[in-house]
Amino acid sequence: MKRNLVGKIFGIALVFVMVGSMLGGLPVLPGEAEVCAADVFQISGTIRDNEGNVLSGINVTATDVTTNMSVGSTISDANGYYSIEVPPGTYDLTFTPISPGLQPVVLSNIVVTEASVIDVVLSSPSITFSGKVVDRDGNPVPDIYVGIYDFGSHGLPIVEVKTDNGGFFSLDVLPGSYTLRMRGRSSNPNVPNRVFELYLYYTEPLSLTQNTFMNFTLRNVYLTGKVVDKGGDPVSAVEFSVFGDPDLGAPWSSSYGSFSSTATSDGNGEFRLPLFPGTFRLTATPPAGSGLGEISLEGLEISEDKSLFIILLGTGPDVTPPIVVSTSPEDGATHAPIDTALTATFSEAINSSTINTSTFTLEGNTVSGAVTYDPATFTATFTPDANLEYNHTYTAALSTAITDLAGNPLVAPYSWSFTTQSGAGPKTWYVDDDKLDYPAADFTKIQEAVNNATAGDTIIVYPGTYTENIDVNKDHLTIQSENRADSTIVQAGGAR
């Protein structure tokens, strides 16, 4: 007959004990023989985990409570079975796993007077992994699944929970090394127009050996902008989507090697897309029945917050020419920096091959520079090779050789003017024909001084003979002799 024994358990474990006799100390019934001291009895059973799986390789030791000496030990076999023979007595049975993650179990004061069957269940102690997910501005990211997977696995999660409205999560797992993944679509009512669609994973093993709390900050950027029709009226309900290869920053990567995000333009035609740095394709799909066509921008590079101005065209053949919607510096601007770069933004995508130093010029091509075009913003940029002059009015020009993608050119040449900043103040230039009177003179020719001077400057000419034709083409320029007029002679340099 088998009866239950209750032993003292150390650790988190469930222990089922079946013995073949009553506990010691019960009287011997008439007709029963007393146990002989020389007899031995078998203690046996099966060891399982808390999911019912048999456990092999578990060390089992029987220790005599009276002498505190081991009287026998064994190791559970492939079927989780163990067996030890001991003399009658009182014992502590110790079950020790050889692999981490399982808790040892000690059954104390087990009285053995005949063969006993003791089945044991070893449990694994769990730990708590918790944390918080926020965006780059510190706003919580709710409704994102945070999952723990076997390391390197792309299968189902071991455990997975959602972040709450505060971006917090908490889950219980066994100690071990795991892959951490985040997935799902998150929107925060406290952060307008912010919707994340995440499929991310931690590329490094997540080693959990104790209760752990971790903060996760998403290194996101924002793509914002406004969408209008050809008439300049805002277009609402335009569906924007991006898809591409994100650079999430170590140790994060994308679960599928890509990232997507969506947004819808509001009543003002404005939209806001949360992204991660990377290269993307942006698609803008107008509402059905609007008569407007979908557009797609390829190779959109996003490394920081970026803003776009998008004009949707009709679905028929494009016969509308592009127009210039803005320039920098603006027409009529004053005090423009001398190291400024000029930009012109068009109403639609431009054929980039038609934007060059022949079609985008400064001062009729007298100022050299480089011309580039950004298809994401429809913006052409002219960067001068050198700083511009102080307090000088420049004219930039765009020719009708510039066309949109359908081949429609600008209706007419477009130009605008601006004036650069004043220098530190009027400057004095010194001219000496042989640099004998004033070795530190700036020039040996008066015309050289005129060419480099700006309005308000003064040119001091030292005594000497200057054979040249002087063309003074600047306002408010003072030219005077350093000494006496008769000691400074200017002779004509010949026919011009």
Q: Residue 58: what are its φ and ψ, rounded to 5°?
A: -85, 125
At 22 the pLDDT is 34
> What pLDDT is recorded for position 472?
86
Same-domain status, 231 and 273: yes
**Average pLDDT of the segment spanning 211-232:** 87
Quote the CA–CA distance of 55 and 322 in Å, as a whole number.
76
In terms of Cα–Cα distance, which of 325, 339, 286 is closest to 410? 325
Of 44-53, 162-171, 348-357, the poorest mean pLDDT is in: 44-53
pLDDT tens-place string over residues 314-349: 776 777 889 999 999 999 998 888 889 999 999 888
Structure confidence at residue 490 as a pLDDT band (50, 70, 90) = low
**Do 58 and 97 form a contact (C-beta atoms < 8 A)?**
yes
Q: For residue 405, what pLDDT is reported?
A: 87
Residue 158 falls within a domain, yes or no? yes
Does any domain span residue 319?
no
Do 76 and 27 lie in one domain? The reply is yes
Judge whether 279 lies within some domain: yes
Better pLDDT: 89 or 278: 89
- Cα(229)–Cα(237) distance, integer angstroms: 13
Q: Is residue 45 part of a domain?
A: yes
Residue 446 backbone phi and psi in degrees, to 5: -65, -40
Q: Are residues 445 and 482 in the same domain?
A: yes
Please check whether residue 483 is in contact with residue 437, taking contact to mean a CB–CB distance below 8 angstroms.
Answer: no
Residue 447 is assigned to a structural domain of this protein:
yes
pLDDT score of 276:
82
What is the per-residue burial (b if ≥16 Cβ within 10 Å, else e) of 6-37? ebeeeeebebebebbbeeeeeeeeeeeeebee
Separation of alpha carbons 163 and 168, rounded Å? 5
Predicted confidence (pLDDT) at residue 32 exceeds the cutoff of 80 = no
Whether residue 141 is found in the same domain as residue 242: no
| Total Cβ atoms within 10 A of residue 342 | 24
Q: Given this model, what pLDDT does residue 106 score?
A: 92
Boundary of a domain, candidates 391, 420, 449: 420
pLDDT at 350: 94
* Statement to judge: residues 108 and 138 lie in one domain: no
Give the per-residue pLDDT at 258: 59
Q: What is the pLDDT of residue 143?
A: 86
- CA gap 103, 282 in Å, rounded: 54
Judge if 112 and 188 occupy the same domain: no
Q: Look at residue 291 and tell me whether its pLDDT is greater than 70.
A: yes
Name the pLDDT band for 255 (thresholds 50, 70, 90): low
Please indicate, yes or no, whether residues 208 and 246 belong to a single structural domain of this protein: no
The mean pLDDT of 258-286, rounded to a whole number, is: 84
The CATH number given to whatever domain includes residue 360 is 2.60.40.1220
Q: Does pLDDT of 34 surpass 50?
A: no
Which residue among 249, 279, 312 closes a domain? Answer: 312
Mean residue pLDDT of the chain comes to 82
**pLDDT at res. 236:** 92
For residue 496, being part of any structural domain is answered with: no
Q: Which of 229, 365, 204 has the alpha carbon at shortest distance from 284?
A: 229
Share of the chain above pLDDT 90, in %: 39
Q: What is the pLDDT of residues 84-93, one digit of tens each?
A: 999 999 999 9
Q: What is the pLDDT of residue 187?
A: 62
Neighbours of 468 (CB within 10 A): 15
Confidence at residue 366, expressed as pLDDT on a 0 to 100 scale: 87
DSSP letter for each residue of 121-152: EE-PPPEEEEEEEE-TTS-B--S-EEEEEETT
262 with 152, same domain: the answer is: no
pLDDT score of 26? 41
Percent of the chain with pLDDT over 70: 83
CATH for 265:
2.60.40.10
| pLDDT of res. 6 | 32
Q: Higher model confidence: residue 176 or residue 198?
A: 176
One domain, residues 49 and 105: yes
Point out the domain boundary residue: 312, 333, 364: 312
In angstroms, the first-to-last Cα distance of the chain is: 132
Is it the case that residue 295 has pLDDT exceeding 50? yes
pLDDT at 1: 33
Residue 332, in any domain of the structure: yes
Give the domain extent around 435.
Answer: 428-491
151-170 burial code (b ≥16 CB/10 A, e <16): eeeeeebbebbebeeebbbe
Domain identity same for 12 and 64: yes
Cα 338-343-347 angle, rounded to 5 deg = 160
Q: Is 130 left (phi over 0), alpha (psi -120 to 50) or beta?
A: beta
Q: Averaged over 302-309, what is the pLDDT?
A: 88
Domain tally for the chain? Answer: 5
What pLDDT shows up at residue 151? 82
Residue 449 DSSP label: H
Is the pLDDT at 21 greater than 60? The verdict is no
**Confidence band for 28, pLDDT divided at 50, 70 and 90:** very low
pLDDT at 493: 55
Is 249 a residue whose pLDDT tops 60? yes
Residue 35 has pLDDT above 50, yes or no: no
Q: Tell me the C-alpha distance between 189 and 197, whole Å.
A: 15
Q: What pLDDT does residue 293 have?
A: 85
Q: Is 318 a domain residue?
A: no
Ranges 161-170, 406-415, 434-443, 474-483: which has the least confidence: 474-483
Q: In this predicted structure, which of 31-40, 63-72, 174-183, 454-463 has the lowest mean pLDDT? A: 31-40
Question: Which of 202-206, 408-412, 431-435 is predicted with the least confidence, judged by mean pLDDT?
Answer: 202-206
More confident residue, 129 or 250: 129
Please indicate, yes or no, whether residues 14 and 113 belong to a single structural domain of this protein: yes
* Model confidence, pTM: 0.43
What DSSP string runs through 93-110?
EEEE-SSTTS--EEEEEE
Say how many C-beta atoms besides its own lie within 10 A of residue 365's C-beta.
12
38: which 2 tokens? 């020389």
Model pLDDT, residue 403: 95
Q: Is there a single domain that holds both residue 154 and residue 104?
A: no
